[in-house]
Structure 1
């Protein structure tokens, strides 16, 4: 009763021509002799689904109010397509005029703001809980716009796991993103649930529904709410999300990777480019100014050892823009201590 009025549905629409243009990529998995017939049938269906302005509804997501002035939390991947139009609907299905205030450059989080045009309007909110106190087996609820069709859907489940790490893709054409520290739940998290709240039995949001495991049932993941609180504080203070920037590309060492590349240690972050066109150390970045080089192995950050279970990204989560951090770096046989002032990620 208290949560549903604060949950919104996000309808994703695209121009008819853009949807039609994407069809050939989607048809690649169909045998060649059936593609022409299938493409014709799909184009006819798309034209029937288009509205008077030539817009076609192609998907949906969810979000929820976290501030009575109209701040809405959702997933970054829900509103990532620059060619799409996003319509936010309240609990009663009424459209709300919104704008994207900020997207978290690291986590799958975005914050929207409803335009009230000077009117003193207050919105129902979902109070934020404490995701660090979650226990395995604890009951939770998911809310959202399931499959972009079934709005105001509620599902019950339990916390199945904590601190999970996965690699997720919003679509086949989008780059994969590593998500760490996630909450695993068997409560139904379906397409369209993304961005909706994961609620404890006290009615507080402890997470944001974010992903499902492909090919599995009852395996959903949510972003813990505690890191999101910092994003909200940034929005209220600066008008944008401020995240620290170091400026290195890296992979975390494991024993298997150590054997493959002949690294002298099995833990740490190896500074390495992803492709020949990338920079391992971003030019002009704090890392470059501190003297970090490609091939360096960052062993620790502020005294905390780095490993596959505690990455460099994890270490930076507790840091702020302007913080000076101490990095222990292995360069060949030399052990170096470098101090770096973190800049703001843009």
Structure 2
């Protein structure tokens, strides 16, 4: 375990968020200035009145997170919510105490994942593991900038859940994440974006959220979910995400029983407050998918709670044509859809 930490920690960084904030001072003013001059002499003599006023602005640290170096020339992985503010500036502090200005290269449109770039070379880089091999009960090591203050804090626990779905909120954002790794290794405010490691010192997840009203329940994005996005940034400088265009609910036994569904697994195409089940003019719409369809297979792979639709889509590239096995009003049909790049508006 010590070897794993020693191997990985040089590549773990702190991400400092800075913004220009107003400088507020107490400025003198005359509350009787609206009165005619001949009356002003009767008011305010011997008194001084002040009110808050802005005297310019200053660059100030307003938050922090974590990240890790994935290339010796300065590519860094972190959470999107750490660097979501386009008006803020970001500074990276490396483990050897050096400070670098960071540029946000890409923010993933549908995962809490972002890539930064700093101008440097010969940096220590971390090895990416295989999150598909993660087992319940195996040791997990979280490293990060705990509470935004203590750099390279290490906590140890076990993998306590897989394929978790949660809704996390913070910094004015609320997002739903699927397929997360659950761990009891302590993940604190500021740890966001740091790595979750196995005993080989390899990254198996990106620390993303904690349950604030429960002890030792933290979550991480499996690293395999973002490997294609990392390669996309390396090759093109941006994240190109394949997109089908459906909103869905994963079917489990409870939902199947409650709604008297004909199957116990699959993706039920159904809209909600965030929009319709089938996005107009999307690949799904063009393929003929309808609301209340149940997608039971995606290109030959069964859709299940662990093998959920979003995970299957990410295995493919923009332009790939896939076959969907769909259950519609009790009948099985096959449809073909050509995946497109996810629109920025979604």
TM-score by length of 2: 0.79
SS at match of 2:170: coil
2:294 aligns with 297
Q: Structure 1 residues 163 and 140, CA, compared in 2 at 3 Å: closer, same or farther?
A: closer
CA distance in structure 1 between the partners assigned to 2:234 and 2:171 by the alignment: 35
Distance 1:207 1:267, change over 3 A: closer
For 1:271-282, what aligned pairs fall within 5 Å after superposition?
271-275=269-273, 278-282=275-279
Superposition deviation, residue 111 in structure 1:
1.0
Corresponding residue of 1:215 = 213
2:199 to 198, 201, 204: 201
Aligned match of 1:239 = 237
Distance 1:166 1:331, change over 3 A: closer
- For residues 234 and 223 of structure 1, what CA distance do their matches in structure 2 show? 18
Deviations 1:241-290, CA, capped at 9 Å, x for gaps: 22211011112233443455454444322222213x72322222111111
Question: 64, 67, 72: which is aligned to 2:68?
Answer: 64
- Number of the residue aligned with 1:88: 92
CA contact (8 A) 1:326 1:339 kept: yes
Any gaps of 5 or more consecutive residues in structure 2?
Answer: 1-5, 24-51
Give the stretch that moved more between structures: 127-136 or 329-338. Answer: 127-136
Alignment of 1:2-151 (within 5 A): 2-16=7-21, 53-116=57-120, 121-151=121-151
Distance 1:201 1:332, change over 3 A: closer
Which is worse superposed, 194-203 or 141-150? 194-203
Contact 1:99 1:115 in 2 (8 A): no
Contact 2:247 2:278 in 1 (8 A): yes
Residue 339 of structure 1 corresponds to 336
* Structure 1 match to 2:28: none
Instruction: Give 1:88 shift.
Output: 1.9
Judging changes above 3 Å, is the alpha-carbon distance between structure 1 residues 133 and 253 closer, same or farther for their aligned structure 2 residues?
closer
Q: Decide whether the 8 Å contact of 2:266 with 2:297 is kept in 1.
A: yes
Q: Contact 2:225/2:311 (CA < 8 Å) preserved in 1?
A: no
* CA 1:132–1:271: 2 relative to 1, 3 Å: closer
In 2, Cα distance between equivalents of 1:132 and 1:315:
13
Based on CA coordinates, which of the two structures has the bigger radius of gyration? 2
The equivalent residue for 1:288 is 285
Aligned CA distance change for structure 1 residues 102 and 331 (closer, same or farther; 3 Å)? same
> How far, CA to CA, are the matches of 2:106 and 2:78 in structure 1?
11
- Partners of 2:21 and 2:57 within 8 A in 1: no
Two-structure CA RMSD over aligned residues (Å): 2.7
- Count of aligned positions: 308
Superposed CA deviations along residues 202-246 of structure 1, whole A, max 9, x for unmatched, are 332222211212322222222222333222222222322222110
CA shift for structure 1 position 171: 0.8
Assess, with a 3 A threshold, how the Cα gap between structure 1 residues 280 and 184 changes in structure 2: closer, same or farther: closer
Structure 2 CA distance, aligned partners of 1:318 and 1:162? 22
Larger mean CA deviation between 318-327 and 307-316 belongs to 307-316
Q: Which residue is 1:317 aligned to?
A: 314
Tell me which residue corresponds to 1:178.
177
| CA shift for structure 1 position 54 | 3.0
Q: CA shift at 1:177, angstroms?
A: 1.4
Q: Output the CA distance in 1 between the equivalents of 2:171 and 2:199.
A: 36
**In proportion to residue count, which structure has more strand?**
2
Q: Distance in 2 between matches of 1:138 and 1:334?
A: 42
2 CA distance for matches of 1:122 and 1:254?
49
The 1:133/1:248 distance shift into structure 2, 3 A limit, reads closer
Relative to 1, partners in 2 of residues 1:189 and 1:16: Cα closer, same or farther, differing over 3 Å? same
Instruction: Measure how far apart 1:17 and its partner are.
Output: 5.5
Which whole-Å CA distance do the structure 2 matches of 1:164 and 1:280 have between them?
Answer: 23
SS at match of 1:211: strand
Is there any run of 5+ residues in structure 1 with no aligned partner, and where? 19-43
